Amino acid sequence: MTDTPDFDLNDFLPYRLNAAASRISRAFADRYREEFGISIPEWRVLAHLHQSGDVSVRDIEARVDMEKSKVSRAASRLEAAGYITKAVNTVDRRLLVLRLTPEGKALVARVLPVAMAFQAEMRARLGPLVEGLEAGLNALLDTKG
């Protein structure tokens, strides 16, 4: 007899949430990788810049929950491709400010319809369960409580 409680990883909510998020992220990446030639970290950087405007790597790291090194590498690839620029922050010279270029804005404008269509498919797949899922996610992601 063992003193450890019964544990089924497949019933462990953090595991299931992570597995679902990874699977969905990869499925969405399959849609944009071939057509637009960007990776998951690059998409996240582009989407964040589109939503938030000029920001630092540190801001993106905190917002998209990605390691600083991944954000930095993605930003370097996007800069080399001409989609973003980097500049030294005038307030804090230790930080780099990232900004979408006109080419980056055009790329985001082409990827967003793919993102919106993917989201619509996910919502349709969930049907009436989507409202409960969104309420649950809001509760889990609420940093105030």
1's CB contacts (< 8 A; 6+ apart) are none
Are 83 and 107 contacting, i.e. CB atoms less than 8 angstroms apart?
Answer: yes
Give the pLDDT confidence score for residue 143 in this predicted structure. Answer: 60
Give the pLDDT confidence score for residue 1 in this predicted structure. Answer: 53
Give the pLDDT confidence score for residue 145 in this predicted structure. Answer: 47
Instruction: Specify the amino acid at residue 89.
Output: N
For 85, list phi and psi in degrees, rounded to 5: -120, 155
Give the pLDDT confidence score for residue 131 in this predicted structure. Answer: 96
118's CB contacts (< 8 A; 6+ apart) are 27, 28, 31
Strand partners, 84: 100
Are 25 and 18 contacting, i.e. CB atoms less than 8 angstroms apart?
Answer: no
Give the pLDDT confidence score for residue 14 in this predicted structure. Answer: 93
- Residue numbers in the chain where pLDDT is lower than 50: 145
Q: Domains (ranges, CATH) in the chain?
A: 24-140 (1.10.10.10)
d(CA 110, CA 112): 6
For 99, list phi and psi in degrees, rounded to 5: -145, 140
